[in-house]
Chains A and B, each alone.
Chain A
Amino acid sequence: MKISRRGFLGAAGTGTLGGIVSLFGVPKNVKAAEIPEIKTVQTTESTTICPFCGVGCGLIVSAREGKVINIEGDPDHPINEGTLCSKGMAIFQLAVNERRLNKVKYRAPGSSEWEEKSWDWALTEIAKRVKKTRDATFVAKEDDGKIVNRTNGIACLGGAALDNEECYLYSKFARSLGVTYLEHQARI
């Protein structure tokens, strides 16, 4: 179905009621070129959950051209019903913040500065450290001959700010190395 453009143009031309008719109209002899150009911007609104406390308030994030333009409480979320606390209100500055890390950094022993590095380099170097430490500290059996298959040379901390799926992979990854010093915020 098509809608008349005539009415709108009529309004533009004569200042009369023509405009409204376009809403209900059938095609009248109007060419596409006659439609005025009104430039528009596109916004997407997606839902998320606040990254601060454990209440789990809903947020709506508005993004335009790949950038966050607004973050507000989700009015339809049954817990917060659109409201947010001081921290929740400030989440925009978590998304748009020049202090955010955007490069891999490395600090060499004894150095007083960070150096920027590539992911490839960092991942390879970290893996080497992991292997070296793990292989040097791995205990397959304790003195009493009992199997323990662990390394006490590596510890893992953190997770309460991660998503469930990330926590799950962290748990799986740490255990694959034999880590038992695996702890996070829930303990403290």
Chain B
Amino acid sequence: MTNHWIDIINTDVAMVMGSNIVENHPIASKWLTRAKERGAIIINCDPRYTRTSSFADIYCKFRSGTDIAFVNGIINYALENDFINKDYVLDYTNASFLISEKYSFNDGLFSGYNNDTRAYDKTFWAYELDGSGLPKKDLSLQHPRCVFQLMKKHFKRYDIDTVCQITGAPKDIYEKVCRTYTSTWAKNRVATWLYAMGTTQHTHGTQNIRSYSILQLLLGNVGLAGGGINALRGESNVQGSTDMGLLFHLLPGYLASPTKADQTLEDYKKNNTPKTNDPKSANWWGNYPKYITSLLKAWYGNNATPDNDFGFNYIPKRSADYSHISLFETMYSGKIKGLFLFGQNPAVGGPNTNKERKALDKLEWMVAVDIFETDTSVFWKRPGVNPADNQTEVFLLPACSSIEKEGSVSNSGRWVQWRYKAVEPIGESRSDLWILDALHKAVKKEYAKDGVYREPILNLNWNYGNGAEIDFHKEPDVHFVAREINGGFVQSKEVMILKDLKSFKKGDQAPSFATLQDDGSTSCGSWIYCGSYPGHTPEKNNMARRKKKDAVNNIGLYPEWSWAWPVNRRIIYNRASVDLTGKPLDLKRWVIRWNETTLKWEGDVPDGPWPPNDKYPFIMKPDGHAWLFAPNLNDGPLPEHYEPLESPVENYLSSQQVNPAVKLWYKINPEGNPVGDVTKYPIIGTTYRVSEHWQAGAMTRNIPWLAELVPDVFVELGYELANQKNIKNGDLVVVETARGSMDAFALVTRRFQPFHLNGKIVHEVGIVWHFGYSGLARGDSANLLTSHIGDANTMIPEYKAFLCDVHRKEGGAA
């Protein structure tokens, strides 16, 4: 989230698209309710009429997988009617930048496409630079190759009629959505965009979000209170786990994990540190060398020296895609022998679970750490499998629950909140912290004598206050770990911060990432968390703060409640909430303002301390501007509509049926990856969640109260389809795709209505996906139906749109 939960109250118009906030983030919807009570208009766009829809002022249905067409149409509406915040667009976005003559767009393809590699040469979309290396601009926004004009041309194709043919949205309601949302171009009006997995889980998920962002930027809604682009995160610490680099391509703090091209630390710095010739660009990623060097010092301590490149080559290098789908494809091929699982249940939550469960069969060993038996940890006795045929060794380690240990979690709004231990872990269960500490110690012992390339293990900096030996009764001190993440000085050092020289002693904790160094004098486990624990005692643990006092602007920031990364900034990109003189665009709900007397910013922590207009507001971009045109994405600089891998219709707009830059697993590894055809599977399928269960169900399906509330899996379908198929509410039905089938109870409702697509009537059904064969509440997993195909940038699977068929199960009356 650029903003945070409480800030939703500040909005005038809230768009909920790709999320069902009322059912899946019920407490967050409290803030939406309060906004509504203050007069805000709530818009909800969803294939299904959800509880969020019933709460909204405007509900517009649209077909799964057509977000881009839907939102591009709103963008076009804003551009055509000039409903844009001109000053904002001119000053803070790259609208005026000129793009290379090589850029073009034709029949669904951007220039630079290579058919064989299914990849673009992105240099075709580069900025045109002037003699000093700065992007050329046309501040009149008239140049035919300026971003603004290219956008006008690109989005013009998304007129209202076209959009409605593609999406199945009713024209009158769609027009109302366009009109209402774009009303926030006015400086005294603001809109927020709330989305979740309904947006990301598509072959064009990244571009879905791009379209939201472009619209928000054109309307001048980013950086303001009540505005922003807000991903509603579904897991208590999926923000933090990402911040800590638990993804193949990321180290902690969003530093890229090294690739084969990074043979030395110098290579790595060169390949990753962006440069700018513009003195007004803060280019914050220019600090890359400081953050990677400090990370290496945190990981390898005294064993990280200039002589060994600070241990840079201890970190494994990637030379391919190792994302979830790829991981399971490789496991299926038998190349992955061992698997660690910490609280994840891919036998239910992974796409194409038939294939992923079979992939697990190929493992030699599995270590599953969880608080309950999960479907994944008992995969060897799943229905239809004879355990005797399965040769995998499984170690199931009992983890304790969150109230039996101490530590921090980061919520969707980047608030890092501290949790205390209320009671001791039950039985022989232990915290994941203890388990990880013990695993490292056990492995290190194993490598004491010999082994392949032992240095990364033996030289790992690992001392958390509980001794060198494994001791069941000694937890690692979580405060040691938290302080390592925050970082500090390993040598005494004088540091220039703005105009002040500050001296730090060896052992001092770092107060903020502005003090981190690239010479090995500082260590820091995750630079964005620098400032979370800037001292040695628990009193300095900012994450544990609980002072419920608002900031001077009184917009619900609560700056002394917990701590938010980065540097306790509650609304990021907030320098875009003021004009070039530092005066808030919205005086009523100001986020920051420049005080002419004190020459200081007031309100939230600004994106950098510089006076107004000294630096451009979007400090994480090398050019300092928000990117309406994004020349760095794999599938194009502007969002373009493509159909999902499985779609009931042909692409109305171009001959490119599917995102041309996605990896086609069904071609690379055909086995277990069939694609369905509309003639056999004419119905659109999607998946969703209910309030009473959580994700893959490992926790909630083992809680008696919740299992009783929602004991069975169901498929929801509309009356028209149910009548056609002779299905009644409560019937046991079979849902089938090319990859698998499942049994579910039919829930026949008016919440799904057929779509009229360019003269064709298409139905959609939705299946709750929490279920599996383990636990108290059991049922077939909806992901038996989904496929191995992912987004072109993130590789997030396309769970939310596929083709299926539904029929009554023989003898399956309820």
Instruction: Report which A residues bind B (CB closer than 8 A).
Output: 44, 46-58, 61, 63, 66-68, 71, 76, 78-81, 83-91, 93-95, 97, 99-112, 114, 119-120, 122-131, 133-138, 140, 142, 146-188
Contact = CB atoms under 8 A, between A and B. Distances in A.
Interface string B374-395: 0000001100000111111111
A101 B27 contact: no
Interface stretch (B103-111, B421-429, B591-599): B421-429
Contacts of B526: 168
B322 A111 contact: no
Nearest to B416: A164
Given A110-B390, A133-B337, A188-B351, A94 B703 contact: yes
Interface stretch (B155-163, B230-238, B491-499, B622-630): B230-238
A90 B238 contact: no
B340 A154 contact: yes
Given A129-B338, A133-B338, A163-B240, A105 B396 contact: yes
A110 B388 contact: yes
A102 B428 contact: yes
Contact of A148 (B316, B323, B342, B350): B316
A162 B432 contact: yes
Interface in B384-419: 387-399, 401-405, 407-413, 415-419
Given A53-B24, A102-B429, A157-B346, A48 B436 contact: no
A152 B372 contact: no
14 contacts: A48-B420, A54-B232, A56-B411, A85-B27, A90-B700, A101-B372, A102-B427, A119-B428, A152-B330, A160-B238, A164-B485, A165-B478, A169-B481, A184-B344
B221 to A, nearest CB: 22
A163 B409 contact: yes
B457 interface: yes
Interface centre among A78, A142, A172 (most CB of B within 10 A): A172
B318 interface: yes
B433 A182 contact: no
B691 A85 contact: yes
Contact of B706 (A90, A147, A173): A90
- Looking at A90, A125, A164, A183, the one whose CB has the most chain B CB atoms below 10 A away is A164
A162 B432 CA distance: 7
A72 B232 CA distance: 23
Interface in B334-390: 335-344, 346, 349-351, 364-365, 367, 369-373, 380-381, 387-390
A131 to B, nearest CB: 5
A76 B548 contact: yes
Contacts of A47: 419-420, 546
Given A46-B420, A157-B340, A168 B236 contact: no
A158 B423 CA distance: 25
Contacts of B252: 168, 171
A183 B244 contact: no
Contacts of B694: 52-53, 87
Contacts of B315: 149, 175
A46 B421 contact: yes
Given A85-B26, A129-B365, A182-B246, A134 B260 contact: no
Given A108-B393, A153-B338, 19 more contacts: A46-B422, A48-B402, A68-B423, A79-B28, A90-B700, A99-B775, A104-B397, A105-B394, A114-B396, A128-B446, A131-B443, A159-B237, A160-B344, A168-B485, A174-B340, A176-B440, A183-B248, A183-B322, A188-B796
Contact of B419 (A49, A66, A111, A150): A49
B247 A184 contact: yes
B453 A149 contact: yes
B30 interface: yes
A150 B413 contact: no
Contacts of B257: 180
B122 interface: no
B429 A101 contact: yes
A161 B407 CA distance: 12
A100 B429 contact: yes
A128 B448 CA distance: 12
Given A79-B5, A183-B246, A173 B336 contact: no
A184 B396 contact: no
B327 A51 contact: no
Q: Which residue, A114, A125, A150, A151, has most C-beta atoms of chain B within 10 A?
A: A150
| Majority secondary structure, A binding face | mixed
The listed residue with most A CB atoms (<10 A of its CB), out of B236, B323, B389, B794, is B236
A9 B314 CA distance: 75
Interface residues of B, number: 165
Contact of A56 (B396, B412, B439): B412
Interface string B275-318: 00000000000000000000000010000000000000111111
A148 to B, nearest CB: 5
B706 A67 contact: no
Contacts of A166: 342, 407, 431-433, 436
B642 interface: no
Instruction: Return the 7 tightest CB-CB contacts between A and B, nearest first.
Output: A102-B427, A56-B411, A54-B233, A163-B407, A150-B316, A158-B344, A158-B342
A180 B263 contact: no
B365 A185 contact: no
B401 A94 contact: yes
Interface string B521-559: 000011001000000000000000010100000001010
Nearest to A119: B472
Nearest to B431: A166
B67 interface: no
A86 B422 CA distance: 22
A188 B316 contact: no
A162 B238 CA distance: 9
A66 B478 CA distance: 21
A89 B367 CA distance: 31
B274 interface: no
A104 to B, nearest CB: 6
Contacts of A178: 316, 453, 456
Contact of A95 (B387, B403, B457): B403
Contacts of B344: 157-161, 184-185
A142 B429 contact: no
Nearest to B24: A53
Contacts of B776: 99
B403 A61 contact: yes
B316 A185 contact: no
B85 interface: no
A110 B391 CA distance: 5
Interface centre among B257, B340, B381, B799 (most CB of A within 10 A): B340
A93 B428 contact: no
Contact of A157 (B341, B391, B693): B341
A169 B436 contact: yes
Given A80-B30, A128-B446, A180-B322, A61 B411 contact: no
B564 to A, nearest CB: 11
A175 B318 CA distance: 12
Given A85-B691, A185-B695, A51 B390 contact: no
B77 interface: no
A156 B369 CA distance: 11
A135 B443 CA distance: 12
Interface in B421-470: 421-424, 426-433, 436-440, 442-443, 445-447, 451-453, 456-457, 460, 462, 470
Contacts of A157: 327, 339-342, 344, 346
A17 B314 CA distance: 78
Contact of A163 (B322, B387, B433, B693): B433
Interface in B118-138: none
B702 to A, nearest CB: 5
Given A156-B340, A158-B341, A107 B396 contact: yes
A183 B24 CA distance: 24
A108 B395 CA distance: 9
Contacts of B324: 183, 187-188
A155 B440 contact: no
